[in-house]
Amino acid sequence: MEDTDFKGLSIHRVTEADFNDVKKFLLVDFLYNEPLNRSVSLNAEDSDAIGIASSLSYVLRAPDGEIAALRLAAIHDRPEEEHEDQIWILINPRVKRLVLWSVISVRKDFTRRGLAEKLLCYKLDEARQMGCQGCFAEASAFKSQSLFEKIGYEKIHEVKHAEWLDDKGQQIFQCDDSTDSIQLVFKPL
């Protein structure tokens, strides 16, 4: 049973009308709080806002109407032809449709309340009804990697930051937290 107590926050399905609020949240919060973004000093001019990809995307709004947390999702269908995309190589060939968690982010002043976990578990029945057979994410922060592990996701691939070198042989990503890799995580529905 999913926990729908969002601690005084209201949950809303993301629509096109939310685009500007989502973009603002991503540019103010996620852009600067995600370890890989910080490690390369990514700024608003360098980044593109992530689109509102599916009806499985939700925001949590504070009483003042501002976004406190969000879950952006996209549906991925297995291509008819062989494809280089790592996820399709690593999972059961019978799996034909997945949910990608594009972004899971909680505003700093709302962390430590279990909101990211609740968002990841919220209304997964909708994904099943749409024919999704599992969920996956590219977990690029230590905290999200730990969360995915806690809620039963399997690490199916990992790329260590030490493997990403510039043309001078220097490591590109130097995160300021415990993040040392990007993990591809998967959980069947």
- The pLDDT, as a whole number, for residue 39 is 40
Output phi, psi for 106, to 5 deg: -125, 130
- The pLDDT, as a whole number, for residue 88 is 92
CATH number of 10-188: 3.40.630.30
Strands 181-188 and 134-139: antiparallel
Q: What is the pLDDT along the chain (189 residues), one digit of tens a residue?
A: 566 778 899 999 998 888 889 888 887 766 555 544 444 444 444 444 445 557 899 999 999 999 999 999 999 999 887 666 778 989 999 999 999 998 899 999 999 999 999 999 999 999 999 999 999 999 988 889 999 999 999 999 987 755 666 777 776 666 566 776 788 999 999
- The pLDDT, as a whole number, for residue 48 is 46
In this structure, the number of other CB atoms found within 10 A of the CB of residue 122 comes to 18
- The pLDDT, as a whole number, for residue 2 is 66
> Across the chain, which distance is largest between two alpha carbons, in Å?
51
pTM, 2 dp: 0.80
Distances (CA, A) of 46 to 9, 13, 25, 41, 151: 31, 28, 16, 9, 33
